[in-house]
Structure 1
Amino acid sequence: MDAILETPALLLDEARMQRNIARMQGRMDQLGVAFRPHVKTSKCLEVARRQLAAGARGITVSTLKEAEEFFGAGIDDILYAVAIVPNKLNHALKLIRAGLRLTLLVESSAMAQQLAAHGAEHGVCYEALIEIDTDGHRSGVKPDDPVLLEIAAALNGGAHLKGVMTHAGASYDLNTPEALAAMAEQERARCVAAATRLRAAGHACPVVSVGSTPTALSAAHLEDVTEVRAGVYVFFDMVMVDVGVCRVDEVAISVLCTVIGHQQDKGWIITDGGWMAMSRDLGHDHHGYGMVCDADGQPLPELGFGKANQEHGVLQWRGAPDVSVAQRYPVGTSLRVLPNHACATAAQHGQYHVIPQNGGDWQVWPRFSGW
């Protein structure tokens, strides 16, 4: 480890990340579907390049800022997987006119009408997916809702129906292989049902896009699905450990922090890694603000992380009561914390300090944020 690295710092284990990429891409190849990774997890060109090199076809983004950044780096097939709204249409138009193959998302007939009108006004034809609600988790149209056909009918002239898309976010609340497999099948079947209904009404629907990390890794088959999206798999995190789709030793990012003080009577170890370094996401609240590890990334079950201030992490000793935490973890000790939610923790940092898989000097990979 680089002894002069200031903390808190976001570390990325390149070897673990590459194994995660290979695992997911191999799974998609086995299931016979295209894979379009969600790059909101990393917001990092170096990570996305490795996903594409492994076989991904295009990427998924959560902001138009991401679309602009990745397009500027040469990635020209992008799905913006958040429902478009009027105040973002000019930004989308600018990217399309620059040559980006941008697919947009709608979930209401009113927005479909506005999208088509905007396209007609500016001489473009927007490609759009309809978001399908397959689990009641978030947004989208249920497969049997009458509004589904209304949205499709509104996508004409300045907009074109490209297909349907869903995200089974409710899978994050599951924790058995059987439940995950059932959710994966529910996601697949309901999204395919929406596409079938659209086709029966005379609408072409070439794209059927599904995905979340848990369902992608749990699906028995993906019949009639054309592409899968997943994001957090590239790093994994403690929520994914709790869900059961990865092990602790497959989590590829961690936050390096340093012991700055103690409260011996309380059994507290104070670090410089507070919630600004970790995010406030407590995940399933099984690990506090994250799983504490030693400097080499080995878990320290005797240390909890149930309290944090903005720039202070407060670790709680859970071992033998007669231990001096100040002696065991003196000021200056390096610790690493595995995050609950990789996307949220990474968003707190401007760069990754990369532990190279083949040895040699550490690298720094920039990431970006904002909208």
Structure 2
Amino acid sequence: MVSTLREAEYFAAGGVTDLIYGVGIAPAKLGRVSALRSRGVDLVIILDSVEQAEAVAAHVRAIGDPLPVFIEVDADGHRSGVSPGDAETLVAIGRCLTSGGATLRGVLLHAGDSYRLNDGVALAAAAEAERLAAVTAAGALRSAGLPCPVVSIGSTPTARYARDLTGITEVRAGVFMFGDLYQAGVGSVAMGDIALSVLASVIGHQRRKGWIIIDAGWMALSRDRGTAKQTCDQSYGVVCDLSGRPYDDLIVADANQEHGVVALRSGFDAALPELPVGSRVRILPNHACATGAQHDCYHVLDAAGRIGAIWPRINGW
């Protein structure tokens, strides 16, 4: 699954041919989609309205490319998608697609509301609600004589806590590989499982204020402050030593464009660690996707902490 067509183009160039563009399709992007498909890429798009389906059908008639489509279904009111109980709209979209020559591949859901939870029982219930929404929507299409070969669900918390996948053909696991502080707050990963960090250097001190200044501000860490809504607010990130072990209650408490302000959490008066100018620290991010997008590559460390590989990133749209 990709978030941008630029990502799809990159993976296609590398020989990956099974892709989902996971953002509701804009008609202006259909030409780029078909250009990729002409190279042998099975790129599936998603949509959630008759208007989008009509635009896809018009494109299919003009180009002759039977675009495969997922109907996006709203698992929990979190974002976009057709209500799983709205059989009338689901069927109208499906018929518009199939009568126009497009390929109805199935339904796709993302249980984004699970990100607001932090209890295993509640997360398992959210996973089951996601599954039921998916199979309900698929059943509505099939009852109308429409194809629905793929029933695709996925969010990191529900992928972790799902107990029953009856009727589901695909699970997309989100940020499962990296983890981040938000997912740690949800309970999807442990803090020690977070595989992504930003390496930063100490460039100064404001000792009377209890600050250590680093050369990683919001341009390096992102502006994402999602953990502010959780039980433990991690501000702009948790500060670790070079091995990735967190310092006690030390966070990036504030961030400017290129400067990060490292301080103890509010209410803690322990001594700051001794980190002279030039010391290096690792910052665990709130949101792996947003932080990764600030950089042009990943430096992959081996078991000894040495750079074993460099993975390029694909930024832009």
TM-score by length of 2: 0.94
Query: Does the Cα contact within 8 Å between 2:154 and 2:174 map onto a contact in 1?
Result: no
Q: 1:359 to 1:244 in 2, by over 3 A?
A: closer
Query: Does the Cα contact within 8 Å between 1:269 and 1:317 map onto a contact in 2?
Result: no
**One-letter amino acid of the counterpart of residue 152, structure 1:** G
The answer for the alignment partner of 1:125 in structure 2 is: 66
Q: Which runs of 5+ in 2 are unaligned?
A: none
Q: Which moved more, 1:235-244 or 1:349-358?
A: 349-358
Q: Secondary structure at the match of 2:227?
A: coil
The answer for the alignment partner of 1:304 in structure 2 is: 251
Matched, 1:354 2:294: no
The answer for the alignment partner of 2:176 in structure 1 is: 233
The answer for the alignment partner of 1:37 in structure 2 is: none
Matched, 1:178 2:116: no
Give the ranges of 4+ consecutive aligned residues of structure 1 lying more than 4 Å apart after TM superposition. Answer: 318-321, 358-361
What is the CA distance between 1:363 and its match in structure 2?
2.6
The answer for the alignment partner of 2:193 in structure 1 is: 250
Q: Secondary structure at the match of 2:24?
A: coil
Q: 1:77 aligns with which of 8, 18, 22?
A: 18
**One-letter amino acid of the counterpart of residue 288, structure 1:** S
Higher RCO (C-alpha 8 Å, min separation 6): 1
How many residue pairs end up in the alignment? 309
Q: Secondary structure at the match of 1:137?
A: coil
- What is the CA–CA distance in structure 2 between the aligned matches of 1:74 and 1:358, rounded to whole Å? 31
The answer for the alignment partner of 2:104 in structure 1 is: 161
- What is the CA–CA distance in structure 2 between the aligned matches of 1:364 and 1:198, rounded to whole Å? 45
Q: 1:330 aligns with which of 244, 262, 276?
A: 276
Q: 2:208 aligns with which of 234, 240, 265?
A: 265
What is the CA distance between 1:279 and its match in structure 2?
0.2
Spell out, residue by residue over 1:7-35, the C-alpha distance to the aligned partner (whole angstroms, 9 max, x if none): xxxxxxxxxxxxxxxxxxxxxxxxxxxxx
Q: Secondary structure at the match of 1:239?
A: helix
Q: 2:32 aligns with which of 91, 94, 114?
A: 91
The answer for the alignment partner of 2:56 in structure 1 is: 115
Query: Does the Cα contact within 8 Å between 1:118 and 1:158 map onto a contact in 2?
Result: no
Spell out, residue by residue over 1:309-359, the C-alpha distance to the aligned partner (whole angstroms, 9 max, x if none): 0000001135546x4x5x811111111110010000010001111112477
What is the CA distance between 1:288 and its match in structure 2?
0.5
The answer for the alignment partner of 1:10 in structure 2 is: none
**One-letter amino acid of the counterpart of residue 90, structure 1:** G
The share of aligned pairs that are identical, in percent, is 50
Where do residues 19-34 of structure 1 align in structure 2 (5 Å cutoff)?
none
The answer for the alignment partner of 1:44 in structure 2 is: none
Q: 2:9 aligns with which of 68, 88, 98?
A: 68
The answer for the alignment partner of 1:218 in structure 2 is: 161
The answer for the alignment partner of 1:199 in structure 2 is: 142
The answer for the alignment partner of 2:91 in structure 1 is: 149
The answer for the alignment partner of 2:288 in structure 1 is: 342
The answer for the alignment partner of 1:55 in structure 2 is: none
**One-letter amino acid of the counterpart of residue 218, structure 1:** Y
What is the CA distance between 1:301 and its match in structure 2?
2.1
- What is the CA–CA distance in structure 1 between the aligned matches of 2:37 and 2:126, rounded to whole Å? 35
**One-letter amino acid of the counterpart of residue 107, structure 1:** D
The answer for the alignment partner of 2:239 in structure 1 is: 292
The answer for the alignment partner of 1:50 in structure 2 is: none
- What is the CA–CA distance in structure 1 between the aligned matches of 2:239 and 2:35, rounded to whole Å? 45
Query: Does the Cα contact within 8 Å between 1:289 and 1:308 map onto a contact in 2?
Result: yes
- What is the CA–CA distance in structure 2 between the aligned matches of 1:204 and 1:302, rounded to whole Å? 53
Spell out, residue by residue over 1:219-261, the C-alpha distance to the aligned partner (whole angstroms, 9 max, x if none): 1110000101122011000011000111111000101111110
**One-letter amino acid of the counterpart of residue 222, structure 1:** L
What is the CA distance between 1:160 and its match in structure 2?
1.7
**One-letter amino acid of the counterpart of residue 74, structure 2:** D
